[in-house]
Amino acid sequence: MSVWDGATILITGGTGSFGKRLIQELLAEGKVAKIIVFSRDELKQMEMRETFQVDFYSPLRFFLGDVRDQDRLYRAFRGVDIVIHAAALKQVPACEYNPFEAILTNIMGAKNIIDAAIDCGVPRVMGVSTDKAVNPVNLYGATKLCAEKLLIHGNFYAGAAPTRISCVRYGNVLGSRGSVIPRFRQQKEAGVLRITDERMTRFWITLSQAVRFVMRCVEIMRGEEVFIPKIPSASLLDLAKAIAPECELEVTGIRPGEKLHEILISADEARNTVEMSDMYVVRPPRRKEMWKEGKPLPDGFEYCSNTNPWQLSQEEILKVLDTI
C-alpha cells in the first residue's frame, strides 16, 4: 500500500501556490481519504472552495488557523497521518522590515508543528525549505535555517512516539506567487525589464516538479534527513532575455539580503550528504548508517547555482516556461 492510501493529509499554508498544486495532484490520484487545508486567510479558502467545487462528498476540508497558535494546531492534527508544512513568511524585504513576525511564523511556527505532531501521534511530517536557508545572508534565510534545524532535531523529542520528521529543500519555483517571472511579464508591457545584477544565477524548479518531489520524499522518508533535488540553474540575464528579448534591460543593483548565487548544499553539509540518481540526501551526522545506498560526495563539494553543471540556455528556459 502507498502511504497515501486512505490517509488524512494536512497542509499548512495550503492556499498558497504549492498547496493548491499539491491538492490537485492528490485529488487526481484519488487515494487519500481527507485533505485538510490549514491557513489563516478566509478569502483564499473561499476561493479554493469555488475552484475545487467543494461539496458534502469532497475530501477537502478547510481549517482556519495560524501556525503560531499551538492550541489550534492540536485541534487540527487529531487523526492526521501526514503533515506537509509549507506555511511561511517568505518575502525577503517583508521579513527584513518585520523581523519579529518572521521569527514568530517561521521559527516558532515550526516548533508548534513539532509539538502538535508528536503529541497527536502524526506519523509523518515533511517541512518545505529553501536554498536561502544555506549560508543565509537575510532574515528569511536565517529563519528557514532555524526551522530546518528544529524540524530535523524534533525527531529527538519524538522518542518512542511514531512521529518522524524530515525536510525538503529546493530553489526558486518558476511562476509561483511573488516570483520574478510574473514581474518580468508585467514589465515586458512597458518595454523595460529591471534586473538586479547581470551575473546573478538561481536554481529553478517548476511547481509541478516541486510537488512531485515532495510527494516522493514523503513516501521514502526515514526521519531526520533533508532531501534536495537535482535541478537546473539559469542566470537572471538569460531568463530576462528569454521572456522579453526585445526589451531594454535596466540594472538596479543587488538589494539588501540578496546573494549573487544561491547554494543548496554547503561544503560543510556535503560531508554528511549522499548522492542518489535524482537527488541528494543530507543525513544526520549521528546516523551515518542511513541511506548507505547513496554515493558519498567528494571533499569540497558544494552545490551552487553558478557552478551547477546543469545550466539552462535561453531556448531551454523558453521550453520550461511553456509548461507552466
* Active centre residues (catalytic): 132
Q: How far is CA 85 from CA 39, 42, 91, 172, 271, in A?
A: 11, 19, 17, 17, 27
Contact predicate 166/221, CB 8 Å: yes
Strands 226-229 and 273-275: unpaired
Helix (H) or strand (E) holding 209: helix 207-220
Q: Return the half-sphere exposure (C-beta side, CA atoms, 13 A cut-off) of residue 106.
A: 28
Contacts for 114 with CB less than 8 Å, ≥ 6 apart? 125, 150, 151, 154, 157, 165
CB 213 within 8 A of CB 129: no
- In a 3-state reduction of DSSP, which class is residue 56? coil
Which grid coordinates are listed for 22?
Answer: 499539491
